[in-house]
Structure 1
Amino acid sequence: MDMPTTTLKVKTSHGTIAVETRGAGFPVVFIHGNSACRAVFQKQMLSPLLDSYHLISFDLPGHGDSEDAKDRARTYSRPGLADLVIELLGELGIDHAAIVGASLGGHIAIEMLSRSNISRGQFLMGTPAVGSNFSEGFVSKPLNGLASRGELTSEEVREFAELVYGSDFEPFMQRAIERADREFRGNLFSAARSGAGVNQRAVLELTTVPTAIVNGENDAIINLDYVDSVRYANLWRGKCFRIPNATHSPFWEVPHIVNHLLSEFLKELTGRRSN
């Protein structure tokens, strides 16, 4: 069934946010990563496998078609972004949802667990649940240091895009990186270094919220062995998935596999009901 998508602008205390929605039923919220935009989830938003759900994607503050944050120090941190998502969903009248997070989006999803009861399940990709030692979750400095740098050259933008999306990245992804608020990346990592946010490893070792872990087996950014070492309290199907022929963004590189897994996760989460 061909269902149209709806776009709207939603005012929040963090700034005006660009939102895209499709369908009806149980809400599924997609949160993109650092210096990305909602369009990276187009292969999920348009998937027939997800037709029976209310799909919601949006641009984080300082990204895509959303405004830069009104107060960067308040918003550009994991806790600040989690507060933004909670407020945004409140404005949309959504009090429960499955949260699909990619990279930073997954960190935001975990942060939300200690701040609201909206999440009924989370589907995390490219997201190591960082504990007291942030670096353990990554192979080296995230994106060779580009993830925290304000100004990027055109060559660095291309490197950023290829590391995140693989060799088949598209021009809109580079434009999203270039558009991102120059203060976003530095503020985000500065806040993390200062201890902002929860111990995410501890959260996932305690939460009863069903958690799916899906990563590309060739991800050169995150430490997959670290991801597997977390003692998840409620790990979907009892294992962390490593998807062949994919790097940091399996939802983009191998959407047929990810969409199938997400569909199965949502069926189990909702008791095979869509509302």
Structure 2
Amino acid sequence: MVFSPVSAIRYGWLYCIVLLLAPLLAHGTNRAYTVESLDGVKIAVQEAGNPQGQAIIFVHGLLGSHLSWEKQLNSPELQRYRLITFDLRGHGLSDKPVDLDAYREGRHWADDLAAVIKESGAHEPVLVGWSLGAAVTTNYLAAFGDEQIAGAVYVGGVIELKPEQLVAQPAAYSGMASSDLRLHLEGEKEFVALCFNTAPDDATFQRTVAAAAMASREMQSAVHGMSIDAAKGLGSMHKPLLLIYGGQDALVQPSTSAARAKALYPRTEVELYETSGHSPFFEESTRFNRDLSAFVDAATGH
């Protein structure tokens, strides 16, 4: 092939662009697929980061989605890991069963997480559960033990659905349960606002509210009765467990929740982010990403 001066310049620029994009292409791999849980529910899974890196599986909370973790997925510090997210049943792009027992039985949520671990081929992942996602993780531990994971991080984690561990927010929860669409959407919006002590930018807030509106009505009416076997899940754990709570959490009581977790698993470590609300991973993302990276490396011996 004969190259003219013009083609040489063109290909020279192309070579420079490839060089500039190489790090992004190497570490910004994105993949989306679905896995099927034992009861046939299809779970939407997404991946980013380094496909050969240590796996971290993020489990979002009530009314969230995989988009909840954008500050982790976009973190330069975390790009060396294999970052796996998924939408819980009844949320986001995953299936939304109409049978209320599909949400009340905690084992179903555990099976979903087990399916993600198995079908992704993630080797000894670190599980990061936010709010309800911590309860899902606990039910996974109760059903499958911790042999297949390296450790877990609970963020604003629900240990049990008991009044002393939660903050009463009757206006938000009654609105979410309302059959009146306006009241239902207002309740969801109020719940999202309660997730933050430091409010996110308007675009992020509106996107989070939109994700909440995608959540199944059946799920929202049934999930507060979800079974959580904390005694078996945490009581039989051997791997590292870190609890991170926001000092200004408006949905979960940090002190009583942490005390219950430590009573079940004395090796539990607890860290308080004084200025954060229910979403320390978002409100203090730089600190959280640094702490998560240190935990993952320690838990996996890196």
TM exceeds 0.5? yes
Q: Identify if the C-alpha distance between structure 1 residues 107 and 63 changes in structure 2 by more than 3 Å, giving closer, same or farther.
A: same
1:143, 1:123 → 2: CA distance?
30
Q: Percent identity?
A: 25
Aligned to 1:233: 266
Deviations 1:39-98 (A, max 9, x none): 010111121221221110011122111121375413454321111111232222235211
Aligned to 2:125: 97
Q: Identify if the C-alpha distance between structure 1 residues 271 and 39 changes in structure 2 by more than 3 Å, giving closer, same or farther.
A: same
Structure 1: runs of 5+ lacking an equivalent: none
Tell me whether 1:207 sits opposite 2:237 in the alignment: yes
Rg larger in structure: 2
Aligned to 1:21: 47
2:218, 2:96 → 1: CA distance?
9
Match of 2:272 among 219, 239, 242: 242
Aligned to 1:121: 151
Deviations 1:180-226 (A, max 9, x none): 01000221123x3xxx331x156434421210010111001111220
Q: TM-score, normalised by structure 2?
A: 0.79
Structure 2: runs of 5+ lacking an equivalent: 1-22
What amino acid is the match of 2:221? G
Match of 2:301 among 266, 271, 274: 271
What amino acid is the match of 1:17? I
Does the CA contact (< 8 Å) of 2:103 and 2:222 recur in 1?
A: no
- List aligned pairs for 1:8-157, cutoff 5 A: 8-12=33-37, 13-22=39-48, 23-24=50-51, 25-69=53-97, 71-94=99-122, 96-116=124-144, 117-130=147-160, 134-141=162-169, 144-146=172-174, 149=177, 151=179, 152-157=183-188
Q: C-alpha root-mean-square deviation of aligned residues, in Å?
A: 2.3
Q: TM-score, normalised by structure 1?
A: 0.86
Q: Identify if the C-alpha distance between structure 1 residues 88 and 128 changes in structure 2 by more than 3 Å, giving closer, same or farther.
A: closer
1:28, 1:147 → 2: CA distance?
34
Aligned residues: 262
Tell me whether 1:186 sits opposite 2:221 in the alignment: yes
Q: Which has the higher helix share?
A: 2
Tell me whether 1:4 sits opposite 2:29 in the alignment: yes
Does the CA contact (< 8 Å) of 1:143 and 1:163 recur in 2?
A: no
Does the CA contact (< 8 Å) of 2:45 and 2:116 recur in 1?
A: no
